[in-house]
Amino acid sequence: MKIFIFLILLTTILTAGELENLFQKGNEHYLKGEYQEAVKVFESISEKGYQGESLYYNLGNAYMRIGKIGLAILYYEKAGKFSPSDEDIVHNLKFANTKIVDKIETLPRFFIFDWWENLLALFSVKGWTYTAYLFYLIILGSVGYYYFARSLKAQRSAFYTGIISAFFLILTMVLLLVNLNRELNYKYGIVVESVVVTKFSPDQNSKDAFIVHEGLKVTAEDKVNDWIKIKLIDGKVGWLNEKNLRII
């Protein structure tokens, strides 16, 4: 279990002390093997509007213990949005994904694309924002140091530091914009029911398209009434009822 860190948005009247007590209660249930009770406590915190890496990570662990693979993956994914490179989250998410039924094969990708995706996943949007701001401050410091330096060697060091920082600032801004674009324009969801038959159109009487199983991550492309249009990584498109899918 992770130590509770207050990476939570305070949106209700609960005090920090009350929140900590509630979270501790959930942890105690988990450590006693009372996983259903732990889920209830952690979900009650989430329902009050709180968010955070530790809360979602612990929810994922609790759901994993009671065999709810889909919900476990959902909350590991949510935790990963706060800390994409956290080793515990990445490890548990990978382990949970080995339990899903659907093993969708895609064409092998060129290693550069894998490198790019790994680079994007190093930080969240907030993390890349802070990184960009850091390089910006370094550039300002280099410019100031350049003009006040009294030796040519010091000026040269400040100049090259500024140039290198500018390069990394541009790279960081690109990574930030890509992540921000994905967060704003792409929605992903996790199938939370054991077996779901998708339809060719948003209608219960429509022909069956294909079957998906609990834990599968999909792209949510559209919504019509209670139906959500999903796309798999192999390109298949279908519609399912929103009760069968939880948006990350």
If asked whether residues 24 and 84 sit together in one domain, one would say yes
Contact present, 48 and 11 (Cβ < 8 Å): yes
Question: What single letter denotes the amino acid at residue 95?
Answer: F
Angle between helices 152-185 and 125-148 (to 10 degrees): 160
Asked if the structure places residue 37 within a domain, the reply is: yes
Of 65, 97, 129, the one marking the end of a domain is: 97
Q: Identify the DSSP state of 235.
A: S
Q: pLDDT of 115-163, one tens digit each? A: 888 888 888 888 999 999 999 999 999 999 998 888 889 999 999 999 9
Q: Identify the DSSP state of 146.
A: H
If asked whether residues 142 and 155 sit together in one domain, one would say yes
Both tokens assigned to 86: 């956290």
Both tokens assigned to 41: 């406590």
**CA–CA separation, 92 and 57 (whole Å):** 9
Task: State what percent of residues in the chain have pLDDT above 90.
Answer: 64
Q: pLDDT of 48-92, one tens digit each? A: 888 889 999 999 999 999 999 999 999 999 999 898 888 999 999
What are residue 139's phi and psi, to 5 degrees? -65, -45
Residue 14: Cβ-neighbour burial (10 angstroms; 0-12, 13-18, 19+): middle
Asked if the structure places residue 20 within a domain, the reply is: yes
Of 39, 71, 97, the one marking the end of a domain is: 97
Domain that holds residue 48: 16-97
Per-residue pLDDT band at 5 (split at 50, 70, 90): very low
Query: How many angstroms from the chain centroid is the CA of residue 11?
Result: 21
First to last CA, the chain: 22
Asked if the structure places residue 209 within a domain, the reply is: yes
20: CB partners within 8 A, 6+ apart: 4
Per-residue pLDDT band at 10 (split at 50, 70, 90): very low
Q: What pTM was computed for the model?
A: 0.74
